[in-house]
Amino acid sequence: MNTTGSITHGMPAEQYFAIDAISNSLLSEMNRSPAHCWAMYISPERPPRKPPTPSMLGGTLAHCMILEPGAFQDRYTVRPEGIDLRTKAGKDWQATVQGEIITLEQMAACMRQREAVLAVPELHHALSSGQAEVTLQWVDPVTGLACKARPDWIHTLPDGRVIVLDLKTTSDVSPEQFGRSVWNFGYHRQAAHYTAGLRACGLEVAAFLFAAVTNEYPFIAVPYMLDEVATQRGVDDVRRLIDAFAQCKAESSWPAFGEGVQVLSLPAWVK
């Protein structure tokens, strides 16, 4: 298999974010509109990355506990009960610890999430060996533009193919609700973009699994795969968005929702 990409292990997250290349997040902004993509990824006036929200922090904790449990103690310190960080005693304790401080409740939640994920045989098998947070870099064969991706987990099968596992923390893991999340957050595009990157790096994807796990009690994990229709839609959308990005970049034109006055119709549910 011809390869146009490279795989880097152990790259710090901030170094990855600094790579100037098309990512799944960039494609999500491009899907909103070229103007959004330019504002968030190209404009010299773009704001710095926002600090994580409590929900985002919960997802980060789950990722570390499930995918990189050996690194958890180096990155996080649990605040004991009775320690108030506003007091002198609390500030003195804080000065002695390393890593981000989390609560006992946060620690308990991500441990329960790990238990829920590992209780699913398919997910347990995928996580039995593999690598977390590897960096993929490749060149899009149509436009020649640089692309990048950072899969959560890659498990290599005996025949050399790989299973990709992407962890999603959510409030509802039912097929109906998670199916909506796939569409709303573009998970089908993510699967297509990551798969293209792995193939460019010489790896054939045997399966792309979403490990959906609830972020509060009851902690339930469900493995999902996209069907052929959703998979092809992801491939088509990625191709459309990369091509559109290349055209906007070549023309230095980043329109919001088309040029000139836009004509509106009533929503489909009204008709």
- The reported pLDDT for the residue numbered 42 is 94
**What dotted CATH number matches 6-53+114-247?**
3.90.320.10
Whether pLDDT at 131 is above 90: yes
Supply the DSSP string of the chain, one letter for each residue.
-----EEESS--HHHHHHS-SB-HHHHHHHHH-HHHHHHHHT-TTPPPPPPPPHHHHHHHHHHHHHH-GGGHHHHEEEPPTT--TTSHHHHHHHTT--SEEE-HHHHHHHHHHHHHHHTSHHHHHHHTS-EES-EEEEE-TTT--EEEE--SEEEE-TTS-EEEEEEEEES--SHHHHHHHHHHHTHHHHHHHHHHHHHHTT--EEEEEEEEEESSSS--EEEE---HHHHHHHHHHHHHHHHHHHHHHHHT---SSSSSPPP----GGG-
Whether pLDDT at 268 is above 70: yes
54 pLDDT band, cuts 50/70/90, is: confident
pTM above 0.85, yes or no: yes
1 pLDDT band, cuts 50/70/90, is: low
Whether pLDDT at 139 is above 60: yes
Average pLDDT score, the chain? 93
Between 180 and 98, whose confidence is greater? 180
- The reported pLDDT for the residue numbered 51 is 77
pLDDT tens digits for range 188-229: 999 999 999 999 999 999 999 999 999 999 999 999 999 999
Between 139 and 82, whose confidence is greater? 139
Between 57 and 139, whose confidence is greater? 139
Mean of pLDDT values over 56-79: 91
Whether pLDDT at 90 is above 60: yes
- The reported pLDDT for the residue numbered 197 is 97
- The reported pLDDT for the residue numbered 153 is 98
- Domain locations along the chain: 6-53+114-247
116 pLDDT band, cuts 50/70/90, is: very high
258 pLDDT band, cuts 50/70/90, is: confident
